Amino acid sequence: MELSSLIPHIEALIFASDKPLTIPEMQDLLNSAFEFEDEGDKMSEEQVSTALHGIIEKYSAEFYPFEVRESGGGWQFLTKKDYHKTVAQLNGEKFLKRLSAAALETLAIIAYKQPVTKGEIEIIRGVSADYTIQKLLEKELIVITGRNEQLPGHPLVYETSKTFMDYFGINSPEDLPKIKEVLPEQIVEPTPVHHTEFEQGETLAVSDVGELIDNEDVEGARLYLATEDQGTPVEDNPDQNIDSDEDTHEENGEHETDNKE
């Protein structure tokens, strides 16, 4: 088949597909459509690739508001950036669906650290990740790819999915923006520690931000007993201040409705 005749058929496939198409998938679909009897007449990957690049070049012209781009492991028509705001008016809030801050944080950790376990995510975030991981799995932005056999209990391992790549318009995790190096002027200096001698058993009052205060009756002060090693809480309740996504997701607006996430 001539290249000029092949191009519109590939355009039609990409346009009609509800997911990105790979070159081998296009090849199989075209060969099935034309029902070639002779093996020598069937489309090759090279022919499809050549025609595809002709289509890419065609729609790269400024005249067209859309283009053919590789995304999510395949090729698809995507609106050019200059027209995103216009197209968004078609679907209103549904088009502008957002992920919660907690979900974005968790997703970013998985994207840059994959493969990664839930425990590793929680160490980085400092809170439970059960809720956000479940929501990301429901949205098919992440997948379970196995277990880490090197860790006790063999925890599940998470990675980003093809849906994630399609959602963010990238072809592989390597296409993610690089994490910028911290500039010298952006480095936060460590908090100076003033070594003060305290008698053992002396009650110390500490503010919510960790500053030593003189008056233990100040509202919000936390009391510690001075020991040889370190301050020990007067009322030590290890479960009292544990934060988790399950406890806070409603406060942060992480509801079940899609329009708010």
Residues 159 and 254 in one domain: yes
- At 194 the pLDDT is 43
Answer with the one of 88, 105, 131 that is the final residue of a domain.
88
Q: Which of 65, 88, 111 is the last residue of a domain?
A: 88
Phi and psi dihedrals of 147, rounded to 5? -130, 150
**Domain span holding position 109:** 97-177+250-260
Q: Are residues 105 and 71 in the same domain?
A: no
- Tell me how many domains the chain contains: 3
- Tokens found for residue 182: 């911290």
Q: In this predicted model, what pLDDT tens digit does every residue of 180-195 receive, in sequence order?
A: 644 555 444 443 444 4
User: Rounded CA gap, 92 and 102, in Å?
Assistant: 24
Tokens of 12: 């039609």
Is this model's pTM higher than 0.85 or not? no
Give the three-state DSSP class for 70.
strand
Return the pLDDT at 36: 79
Q: Are residues 212 and 157 in the same domain?
A: no
Mean pLDDT split into 10-residue runs, the chain, 261 residues: 89 92 94 83 90 94 92 86 83 63 90 90 90 89 88 88 81 77 47 46 48 48 46 44 45 44 39
Whether 224 and 129 share a structural domain: no
Residue 185 lies in a domain: no
152, 53: one domain: no
Report d(CA 201, CA 118) in Å as an integer.
40
Are 46 and 172 part of one and the same domain?
no
Indicate if 167 and 255 belong to the same structural domain. Answer: yes
Give pLDDT tens digits for 218-253.
454 444 444 444 444 444 444 444 344 444 554 444
pLDDT at position 259 is 42
Query: Contact, 122 vs 157, CB < 8 A?
Result: no
